Amino acid sequence: MTYDIDDTQEEVVSEIAPDTPLPKDLIEHLESRKQHRKDVIHTTEKLTRFFVGWSLNSTGFLIAKYLLITGGGVNLWLAISLSFSICSVGSLAGLTGLRVNYNSDGLEVDNMQNLIKTAGGLVFAGVTTWLAVKDHQYFENLTKETVTQISQDIQTIEKQNPQSDPWVSIAVALALFIGSIAIIFKGRE
């Protein structure tokens, strides 16, 4: 079966009718929903950035503390470099939008706020690393002072009572051992 198409037939041209305007209250509602959605996205982005930065800084701090506790001064520079590197990851990610060009007009920099945020993040990474190192140095000095004081007290007691020479050292060591075990197991309760 064939269809005969007559070329002389008038072509039907379709036009799109203009949209019917939305009611004013619906437009206001849609705009408020759009603004609310933007606010939620902005708040979520800020919270995510805060928690990622916080977790990176605390991880860097704890790694530095672990390295300094387990290795002492031997691991000092390793602890500093790892702590600073981990703490600065979040701030260095902000440099992705920075654009610097030099043309005939001079230096052109876009997204300068990212550079300021990065500088602030690097300062915060440095402060976190410094705090980890200073915290370790404080406890190391405190431990040395405690050992020195205990040693002086033992020598004073031994001078006053020479017959109790080995027993005082054994009693102090036993008291320290029992005290540390009590602190460890008391913390588990």
The domain in which residue 116 lies consists of: 25-187
Evaluate whether residue 15 is within a structural domain: no
Average pLDDT over the chain reads: 80
Question: What are the residues facing 138 on neighbouring strands?
Answer: none
What pLDDT score was predicted for residue 189?
Answer: 57
Number of domains observed in the structure of the chain: 1
Evaluate whether residue 170 is within a structural domain: yes
Evaluate whether residue 148 is within a structural domain: yes
Is the pTM higher than 0.85? Answer: no
Measuring CA to CA, which residue among 121, 125, 143 is closest to residue 68? 143
| For residue 120, pLDDT beyond 60 | yes
